[in-house]
Structure 1
Amino acid sequence: MHLSAPRTHAHKHARARRLTPLSYHVVVTASGKENFITHTPVSAPFQLYKWFSCVLRDTYKKVCCCCCSLVNAAATAAAAKTDQGRKLQEVLRQLSDVKDSVQFNEKMLSSPPENIEDCCCLSALECFRANMQVHLNVTGRKLHKLLRSLKNPLTLSGLDSCKSGNDTLTCHDCDSHPKVNVQEFFNRLESLIQRAISRLVMD
């Protein structure tokens, strides 16, 4: 009866090493001696896990940056609309002060209509401002403050309601608008400012 020799502890380790593939590379020292350095290769599932983690981390960073940009843009737009609305309310108060200082005589002024197209609001505003500056005999700080406010960037941006694609519309020259009396002139300017305020509130 043939008896096999019992497997030693060293045999078990030798088999374990054979089951786990090893790779090695040679390092040559300064003395010329070769040293073999072995390592166990990383498994494919682990490499896939590391790659997927990197992709998720990068995606998360991009999404966070995008969300922060959108929030900042929305906050900036909301603040701009608030400033525009306040400035237009100030224009209405200054306009009321000027109306109280003007005698409504028979003078006739070119005035844009109340139903002016959105893309012509700035042109209409300039027409009102030019007519007041040239034809109204109002002196003092009240008219000066109103004329200055009508040129303010916040006033201009608040009235700029021209949507993209409609900016090719040709607006009428100021002198081509029909002439109205001074009271109607101020009423139409007031209507234009109130229209811009309402639009800011609705947007």
Structure 2
Amino acid sequence: MPTYPLLAPPPLSSGSPSAHPPSIVTSLVPPMFNAQAEESPKNLILKKVMNELDRINNGMNKSITLNSPTINDLEDCCVKSALNCFQSKVLYLSVPDGKLKKLQIIISNELHKIVNRVSDCKPKELEKAQCKPCDSYKEVDSQTFVQNLKTLLQKIYASQP
């Protein structure tokens, strides 16, 4: 009995070399794996909140003013404090309809999850940082408030490994 190369099928009955069907090498090659690692749950939440903020920003009343931390106001150990401030104020954004109001509640809940996942500083570092209370931040219009929150979320997202 003749032997055949591993990937070549046996010859057809006509015996001519052109009667061989083409080899299917790709069926033996394992599928390619996604080169990028899956994103962490924290990063997925960050992306979700940033997208939801865009939707809120497009439909909200922009005349409301709220206390808002900015990146320039924050020391590294005050990120959690700033997120708590944003979370407490985000429900005060003035939105015209029920869909955006629901989205506002979702954003607040997702911010709570982010706050719990942000690494906190050591107690001695927190004492030195002297994070400001939320009401001590400058009042800004609601559009600037949303932009400041997005900027902070982008900073957190960019700092992830």
TM-score (norm 1): 0.52
Correspondence for 1:85: 43
The residue aligned with 1:183 is 143
1:151 match: secondary structure: helix
- Point out the structure with max Rg over C-alpha: 1
| RCO higher in structure (CA 8 A, sep ≥6) | 2
- Given the alignment, which residue of 52, 59, 84 partners 1:94? 52
Q: Is the 1:118–1:161 contact (alpha carbons within 8 Å) kept by the matching residues of 2? A: no
Any gaps of 5 or more consecutive residues in structure 2?
1-36
Is 1:145–2:118 an aligned residue pair? no
**Higher helix fraction (1 or 2):** 1
2:3 match: none
Runs of 5+ unmatched residues, structure 1: 1-77
CA contact (8 A) 1:110 1:176 kept: yes
Is 2:69 aligned against 1:112? yes
CA distance in 2, matches of 1:85, 1:163: 23
Q: Which residue matches 2:126?
A: 167
**Could you list the per-position Cα deviations for residues 32-66 of structure 1 after superposition, in whole angstroms to 9, with x for gaps in the alignment?**
xxxxxxxxxxxxxxxxxxxxxxxxxxxxxxxxxxx
Matched, 1:196 2:153: no
- Aligned CA-pair RMSD: 2.3
**Number of corresponding residues:** 119
Residue number in structure 1 paired with 2:32: none
Separation (CA, whole Å) in 1 of partners of 2:116 and 2:90? 21
Equivalent pair of 1:84/1:157 in contact (CA under 8 Å): no
Residue type of the partner of 1:156? V
